[in-house]
Amino acid sequence: MFNRFRLWCGAVIRIFRAHRSLRLENLALRQQLVVLKRKHPRPRLGAFDKLFWVVVRYIWSDWEKSLFLVLPETVARWHQAGFKLYWTMLCKVQKRVGGGGRISKQIRELIFLMVAENPTWGAPRIHGELLMLGFHVSETTVSRWMRRAPRNLDPGKRWLAFLRNHREAIAAMDFFTVPTLPFNVLYCFFIISHDRRRILHFDVTPHPTSNWIVQQMREAFPYESTPKFLIFDHDAKYGFEVPAAIRSMKIACVQTSVQSPWQNGVAERWVGSCRRELLDHVIPLNERHRKRLLSDYLSYYHDDRTNLGLDKQTPGGRAFYIGSGQVISRRRVGGLHHRYDRAA
């Protein structure tokens, strides 16, 4: 505040000084200004400095000749911003959306929901859906509220929709290990289809090699019954032979990123189900015993077990019973699981 008082007092005193003295003082000030600008190329101006030049612009015709710190266009922009701020503070009214009356909260929430669930829809499409639901609102209002809708930033839902639309052409393969009673390790190989979550092929071996994996793939896809895409990870067991064999079968290789099992989610979920529902409750004696247990579980998995990803249906398409007969229980996987049917 004291600095501002000194500035205004100095301006009054200079009015009564001699013309020669003012010229010399201006020359000295300009020289110091050049030095200051050389040291600080882009000085920052405060709100009072901006207001000073806006006022000087209206009371002094030669103000542009004495302006060095900023351009004259910048001072004009400051005036426009001050004009806008003045009327904003004067009105104290938030800009309303739409030209007519306000729409209800229910319509706004419906517009936001349609924008989030259908990112490719425009205002005409959403307006048409609202008309079908009996909501009479203009397309212009819908367009303006769409700009305020929160965007869905989760790309997982977009990928989920993509996978659902292409699941008939996608399969995945993976390994998981099982310890046996004599502390040996068996490697279980399987190929799963994305469309009905069916296990297309499985086998067990204590020593997996790339040639053995190629043979399993030939058995899994006979007579050109190959999918378009095959998802697998960067396991060293695949080597260079497995990707080459996949391409020779006219299948596109889709390898997941390193240490990213979630990118092969369908296969990983099946491994989790197999462990929770079978492997955590049995101790395989040897390779033969392990194959028999897996065969029993796959039969139960395909024909009896409902799958959440298939809308509570089974991969094999289990029939619904509508009758009112007595409910009977059938043992599956040695009694670990059961199937329930109605008696004829």
- Chunked in runs of 10, what are the mean pLDDT values of the chain (344 residues)? 62 59 62 62 67 69 62 71 76 51 82 83 88 87 86 63 77 92 90 90 92 91 83 90 91 87 89 91 89 92 85 82 79 88 77
Alpha helices in the chain, H assignment, sequence order? 2-15, 19-39, 47-59, 72-91, 105-117, 123-132, 139-146, 155-165, 210-220, 241-248, 265-277, 287-303
Residue-level pLDDT at 103? 80
Does the model's pTM come out above 0.75?
no
Residue found by looking up tokens 């900023």 in the block: 70
Residue-level pLDDT at 214? 92
d(CA 315, CA 322): 20
163-310 in CATH: which number?
A: 3.30.420.10
Residue-level pLDDT at 98? 46
> What does the domain layout of the chain look like in residue ranges?
1-43, 44-91, 105-153, 163-310
Residue-level pLDDT at 97? 45
Residue-level pLDDT at 208? 92
User: Which amino acid, one-letter code, is at 327?
Assistant: V
User: Pairing state of beta strands 185-193 and 170-179?
Assistant: antiparallel
User: Which amino acid, one-letter code, is at 309?
Assistant: G
d(CA 117, CA 298): 36
Residue-level pLDDT at 212? 94
Q: Is 13 exposed, middle or buried, given 0-12, 13-18 or 19+ CB atoms closer than 10 A?
A: exposed
